Amino acid sequence: MTAVATPMRESTTRVHTTHYRPELDGLRAVAALLVIAFHAGMASAVGGYIGVDIFFVLSGFLITGLLVNSAASGPRALVTFYARRMRRLLPAALVVLLATAAAWNAVATSVEREPVIGDVRSAALYFSNWHFAAQATDYFASTDAPSPVIHFWSLSAEEQFYFVWPALVVVFAICRRDPRRSRRGLATLAVLLGAASLVSLALATRHSSERAYFGTDARAYQLLAGALLALWALGRREGAHVRRSHLTGARLMQVCALAGLIVVASSAFDLSPTMRGLLAAAFTVALLWAFEFAPRGLVGQPLSWSIPAYLGRVSYGTYLWHWPVILLVRRFVVISPHYMFGVAAVISVSLASMSYRILEQPIRLSPALAVHTRIVIACGLAASIAVGLVLAPRLLSSPRHPVVTPVSTDQARGGTAAASDKHGSKPPPTGRAMPPPKTHTPVPSAAALHEAAKAHTERTCLEKIARLGCLAHKGAGPRVLFVGDSHLETFFPVLDDLAAKHDLNLYTWMYYVCPWQKDVLPDGTNAEPCKKNKAKLYNEMLRTVRPDVVVTVNRAYDDPQYSRKVFVDGHPDETDASKVLSASMPASAVAVLAYAKRLVVVEPWPSLSFNPRECLSGARYDEECRGRASRRLASEKAIAAVAAQDSRVATVDLDDAVCPQLPLCDPVIGGVIVRIDNDHLTIAFAKAIEPAFDKRLIAAGAYGP
């Protein structure tokens, strides 16, 4: 930089004003590598998903600067902007979607491919963030394999933001001809919209962690923070000079901001995704601010080197490719997180580099396409519709068996939790741990397997799960409150029938991944929402309804075939489900019976170590997909002991109804598919065992004396 003399007492230095900012490309590379490290499962990068937060702030900063500079041309600027965005984003994205659909057609069963159809559709049409937010509230979705396109949610959120923000920039440029007044107006608007976004984030965090993570309204503050910084930077650059003393502070700020990002991305502190996002946005803004004064400072200089800058230029393609690559590798190889990071980084960067040179740059820099903006927009929309609604679904909806099948263990399929918190399960080889089948019953059709996945009906109280509860049926009989998690949801149509048959006042309360025991919480992101909603159950609903009978229906959290860690509120160190649930039974029963006259616990039916519906989609005969049930669980013994001591407590055992050939569990009984996944029953099978369920509820006193 060139020092110049001024009348000021301190010397000044010119502000960096070149168009290309290699240090920003280097920062993109850091963000992309953080996301890969997180998805690879590295314990040291448990917060690596903040790479998306960094991308959002960077995007708001760079694109707002471009928009303000071109907004003077009015509506034409919008057309040019959207055409440029399509040329920049669509080619690589649509190729990745088609390649992913083709790969899943080759390696996945029809059951695995089924949910990916909707995922790809939402990704191609840029509403996948809302699609996955809606799916995340459904615990049934959480037991399927991770979606290979779930990472497209961030692109959807970003493009939804840019559907509105550029128009506002142009409106301010037209209404206020003075650029300074226009920027001040936009800055005020950005502050107001950012505050509204933070309020939306706070509300979403209280009620839905998925909405807080995926929602465009809850994420807009990060893009607006970058936009606000860009407006400030444009104003500062008009002065053309800054004090040299600012350079020292800027260089120090770079180091502190980068260190802050590294700490936030690491496992050093146990932070929620919302808090990590807030801190990541703040540190990214600080780093970009420092780059304005010292772009070649202690951090900016190494980020500007050729390798980081190049990795940043291809970071968009790297981000698109890395997650499908990770899932494909995990299907066939058991690999440690650090090796997975290296493999995924090398493969995704290589694919991104080819895409960048062969596809993206020629389209992006084409003079002919730059002139015909309206044609570009029309063709882009048509291509998105074709890929999302026709081409990719056709590849994924094929009933064919996989051409290539996994040969590794279950761990290779499940992998480490991704942003969607989804885990896969591998179907067992034919006859694994099973006696040779004596019969050969053809498997159900692909259409029947897909239909069996439908978990909900419209005649439910599901939309009120986060409220006080629901009066599902008003009758003249006793007040019966059914309490449970997603396993109860399958029985909602059955409960409707039983309530009408016995003239019950039927109430329901349910929350996904939430044990009925009072102080027991699931390990992970569901803990806080479960705690809040269960407080409503015990502190409000039981006191208000004062039911004659409470009936609980929960999953087998302590089944070793498909267990989940739980803990007692206030004691997070003990997460063994058998110990926690067994110890909590007596106190939980007392808490319920303080307001209810009777407690009936429907013991969880056996879970399996694999998804039999997925197994059926790749098998020839039903008998190939039999599973073996666990022995009586510790939690079942614990509630039985409580029932032996208190006549107001009873249990209902459905094991022999779900698995008539115990200890073997058939995937299809009487022509009806039994399970949606490892442990959830299908609605059709719940209806099939309704008479047996009703008879056992009567024997347990579930409808009163």
- pLDDT, tens digit (0-9, with 9 covering 90-100), for 647-691: 999 999 999 999 999 999 999 999 999 999 888 999 999 999 999
Q: How many CA atoms lie within 13 A of 295 on its CB side?
A: 19
Q: What is the DSSP letter of 519?
A: T
What single string gives the DSSP state of each residue in 661-679? TTTEE-SEETTEE-BSSSS
Q: What is the pLDDT of residues 239-248, one digit of tens each?
A: 555 555 567 7
Query: What is the 3-state secondary structure of 221-266?
Result: HHHHHHHHHHHHHHHHHHHCEEEHHHHHHHHHHHHHHHHHHHHHHC
What pTM does this model have? 0.79
Q: With 60 as the cut, is the pLDDT of residue 417 above it? A: no
Which pLDDT band holds residue 311 (cuts at 50, 70, 90)?
A: very high
Tell me, what's the pLDDT at 201? 94
Which of the four pLDDT bands, split at 50, 70 and 90, describes residue 430? very low
The answer to whether the beta carbons of residues 611 and 661 sit under 8 Å apart is: no
What are the angstrom distances between the C-alpha of 331 and each of 114, 410, 414, 417, 678?
Answer: 18, 9, 8, 15, 18
- Residue from 542, 601, 591, 543 nearest 569 by CA: 591
Per-residue pLDDT tens digits for 565-596: 899 988 888 888 999 999 999 999 999 999 99
Burial 250-259 (b: 16+ CB within 10 A, else e): bbebbeebbe
| Cα three-residue angle 480-486-487, rounded to 5 degrees | 70
Q: Is 108 left (phi over 0), alpha (psi -120 to 50) or beta?
A: beta
pLDDT score, position 22: 94
- Residue type present at position 250: A
User: Quick one: tokens of 680?
Assistant: 């959830």
**What residues pair up with 592 in beta bridges, in sequence order?**
none
Q: Mind listing the pLDDT tens digit for each residue in 165-215?
A: 999 998 888 887 787 888 899 999 999 999 999 999 999 887 767 888 999
Q: Is 479 helix (H, G, I), strand (E, B) or coil?
A: strand
Is the separation of the CB atoms in 147 and 118 below 8 Å? no
**DSSP letter for each residue of 402-419:** PSS---S-HHHHH-S--T
Amino acid identity for residue 352 in this structure: A
User: Tokens 């500079």 map to which residue?
Assistant: 69
- Output the pLDDT for position 124: 97
* For range 516-524, the mean pLDDT: 90
d(CA 141, CA 129): 15
- 120 residue type, one letter: V
CA distance from start to end of the chain = 89
CA 97 – CA 321 distance, rounded (Å) = 9
Dump pLDDT digits (tens) for 321-361. 999 999 999 989 889 999 999 999 999 999 999 999 999 99
| The CA-based dihedral angle spanning residues 275, 141, 532, 540, taken in that order and rounded to the nearest 10 degrees | 160
Residue 18 predicted with pLDDT over 60: no
Report the C-alpha gap between 92 and 127 in whole angstroms.
Answer: 18
CA–CA separation, 96 and 324 (whole Å): 9
Q: Pick the closest to residue 479 from 550, 552, 540, 547 (CA basis).
A: 547
Sequence-distant (6+) residues with CB within 8 A of 27 are 54, 58, 284, 287, 303, 312
Pick from 550, 13, 500, 559: nearest CA to 293: 13
Average confidence (pLDDT) over 64-69? 90
Sign of the Cα torsion 700, 649, 551, 610 reads negative
The rounded distance, in Å, linking the Cα atoms of 100 and 47 is 26
Orientation angle between helical segments 337-355 and 75-107, nearest 10 degrees = 130
The span from the CA of 566 to the CA of 515, in Å, is 9
Report pLDDT for 246.
67
Q: Could you tell me whether strands 505-510 and 598-603 are parallel, antiparallel, or unpaired per DSSP bridges?
A: unpaired
DSSP string, 98-141: HHHHHHHHHHS-HHHHHHHHHHHHHHHTT-HHHHHHHHHT-GGG
